[in-house]
Amino acid sequence: MTNNKNSNHKPLIFLLSIFFLLLPPLISPLRPPPKNPCDPKTLPHPLTVRSDQLTILINGFSESRLPLLLSIASSYSSSPSVSSILILWSNPKTLSKTLKQTLESNLTSFGAPISVLRQTSDSLNSRFLPNPSILTRAVAICDDDVQIDPKTLEFAFKIWKTNTDRIVGFFPRSHDLDLSHKTWIYTVHPDKFSIVLTKFMILKTDYLYDYSCGGGEKMRDLRGFVDEMRNCEDILMNFVVAGKIDLGPVLVEGKNVRDWGDVRNEEEGEEEVREVGLSKREDHRKRRGDCIREFHRVLGRMPLKYSYGKVVESVGEQGLCKKGGKLVFCDEQIKVGDEGKTRIKTL
């Protein structure tokens, strides 16, 4: 009888073995980008892409950040909303052997497949290139020193699905008009914003094509200016989207958003991660103001639109109450009947 049971299971074991062999590998070897990313024939048909998941695109350049980048990629792979992760390696000086060995020994996927695309240049425009590997309607553009916890990632994607034409992000900035000098500047406002950064932004996959392949001569000039400045690709993407929909971005509150590149970090060992960032240049804000002025000049108009407020997971009383000998927010020790619902809270 034991032999009969084993023989009955053999067809099932054989079929399962074939099934797992046909599954795509969770970790893909180094791959080059598509030869002609702007050829629409190479891109998936709109009816075949998924709307229930998104693709994560992580830009990588600094070898000192590789361990952090790989840890972030592994974390995102566990999210049920993530279809796949593409690491866009844009440092041409990194030896392929070195990169391959580092990936093989340190990269782990917990669900979504992870691929590494070796870019042909270090252009910041490359992070917006269309790719036939992207099989979702939405992409998340991320830096290699920012990590969003799974719950917050799920929440941000949920918000994007109700605002599919807009950019959704966590890090707001703004343009403004300096009346004394009669010129556009790059700044931060406490109560309004018109730009979200590529530290982490979710947007429609179609916008990659609009940025990289559309817009004719004007967009070619603007992408060239991004290369010249080695900055501002995120500002230009906000220009592109606002110009199409005449709306500003959506800001999401991130309770567990880790930014290793923020100068306010004080933990030992993070200084090296911060120092390689473009935003650490002394003239960073001036250069970005120069970008806004040039984009406005070439386009002949200012498409950026202000948004006001942010989306939060829940709203509760913020008074302090004593609990367990410590002061905590009062809403941490009470249960609200509609807790967890999405609300809008102004800044």
CA distance 143 to 161: 22
Which class for 103: exposed (0-12), middle (13-18), buried (19 or more C-beta within 10 A)? buried
Which sequence positions are flagged as catalytic?
234
Dihedral, CA atoms, 255, 261, 267, 270, nearest 10 degrees? 140
222, 123 Cβ separation under 8 angstroms: no
